[in-house]
Amino acid sequence: MPRAYIRRNVRVQWSEEDLRNAVSDIHGGKGSVREISRTYDVPVRTLRRRMRSGNLNKVALGRKSLLSMVQETSLVKYIQNMASHGFALSAHDIKKLSYSFAIQQNIPHNFNTERKRAGQDWFLAFMRRHPELAVRKAQRMSTARAKGMTRQECTQYFELLGNVLRENNLLNKPQNIFSLDETGLQLNNNPGKVVVTKGTKMVNCITSAEKGETISVITCVNAEGSFFPPCCIFKGKNKKKKFEDGLPPGGKVVMGEKSAYDQVAIDENNMPETICAKRAKEEVKRTKLKQKEERKKTQSIVEHRNKTVVPKKKTKKSPSPNSSDTETEVVTQESDDSEIDTDESEFCAACHGYFYDKKGPKCDWLQCVTCLKWVHEICTQSDKFCEECTPLSEIATKTKSH
């Protein structure tokens, strides 16, 4: 029998309602059987036979199904019950089940006795007779997850969740409620159904790999719909720059040495973060670095102070009677220990050295007019400013003069 049968005759065009109305009119004496038969377009023989038997239900023409409607209804309930408990039956299972049922109930059948199952035509007709059933693709569910989805476990979970939200005052703050989850993705494209020349024996599509590599993706989203950039875990040790191509702004890639399923320790630098949080973290890092440099500088000054103090030398410029105005003579005088102090003016702001570290006729002190720090004359290019406070215009002028 073809699966898509097209009817070619015009028999049984009447409906069940027409049959019941015709029988009612005959019993009411509204006319003869032939007149009422022509009125409702019901054959005379059919009308008389139905009146004798009392069966006013309309049935389909042709061969009847092997199982009665009561038996098929019980089979449908069994299929739905098994699906609700996580053990959905496939088309192959239903075919074998119907064959076993027909054998146990001694129902005459024309099923395949070698394969011990019903045929595909019977299955398609069974699905048409029961539109409440449908063929769907099932998803895998582990035993642990199935055990955790009981009514008791779900009730306990939602009670605990409600207590946590009430204790932290989060019932009216969906922006502060986040959900974190991970999923696996394969780096291999699925060709699917393609169009080729009819009769082609081998149909191939080039892919990156036959099996593909799996990566883990960690996502986090709050109850308002705002989400953090994803974090991807690749298998390997060395991260390549091309792994981050096409990632959303802020997305990160972390490497797992053994596989992408390993528990990778993700530090703060690898976690996805917003731009504002990233800027704030960089600002804190710069501040800490600056404080560290200042502490190191202060420590070096204290170490210099704790060393053995050499008598302070003061330099004086006195003009020589036999020399011109440009020539000067350096007269050094050693001061007593009482003249030695530990003021910061003993150290050059540029080289952080003592006044006696620089020798020569140009080893004089110079106080900056901007920051009021003392420096050696040879440690700065200006006559009024230290190296840090020297204006750019003055530096450019001295560079051209040289």
Please determine, for residue 335, whether its predicted confidence score (pLDDT) is greater than 60: no
* Average pLDDT score, the chain: 76
Confidence of residue 349 (pLDDT cuts 50, 70, 90): confident
Confidence of residue 362 (pLDDT cuts 50, 70, 90): very low
Please determine, for residue 398, whether its predicted confidence score (pLDDT) is greater than 60: no
- Which of 61-70, 120-129, 231-240, 309-318 has maximum average pLDDT? 120-129
The helix, strand and coil proportions of the chain, stated in percent and rounded to the nearest 5, come to 40, 10, 50
| Distance in angstroms (rounded) separating the CA atoms of residues 215 and 183 | 8
What is the separation, in whole angstroms, between the first and last Cα of the chain?
A: 108
Question: Percentage of residues in the chain with pLDDT exceeding 90?
Answer: 7
| Distance in angstroms (rounded) separating the CA atoms of residues 12 and 402 | 117
Give the pLDDT confidence of 56-115 residue by residue, as tens digits. 888 777 677 788 888 999 999 999 998 888 888 999 999 999 999 999 988 888 888 899
CATH number for 312-401: choose from 1.25.10, 3.30.40, 1.10.4160, 3.40.50: 3.30.40
Give SS3 for 287.
helix
Confidence of residue 300 (pLDDT cuts 50, 70, 90): confident
Report phi then psi at 367, rounded to 5.
-100, 125
Confidence of residue 394 (pLDDT cuts 50, 70, 90): low
| Distance in angstroms (rounded) separating the CA atoms of residues 254 and 239 | 8
Alpha-helix residue ranges (DSSP H) falling in 139-251: 143-148, 151-167
Amino acid at 140: R
Alpha-helix residue ranges (DSSP H) falling in 130-255: 143-148, 151-167
- Which of 178-182, 205-209, 274-278, 383-387 has maximum average pLDDT? 178-182
Please determine, for residue 20, whether its predicted confidence score (pLDDT) is greater than 60: yes
Q: What is the pLDDT of residue 100?
A: 92
Mean pLDDT, residues 368-377 taken together: 80
Residue ranges per structural domain of the chain: 69-129, 142-172, 312-401
What's the token pair of residue 156? 């306990």
Give the pLDDT confidence of 192-246 residue by residue, as tens digits. 777 777 787 777 777 766 666 788 888 889 888 888 888 888 888 888 888 888 8
Please determine, for residue 314, whether its predicted confidence score (pLDDT) is greater than 50: no
| Distance in angstroms (rounded) separating the CA atoms of residues 129 and 256 | 54
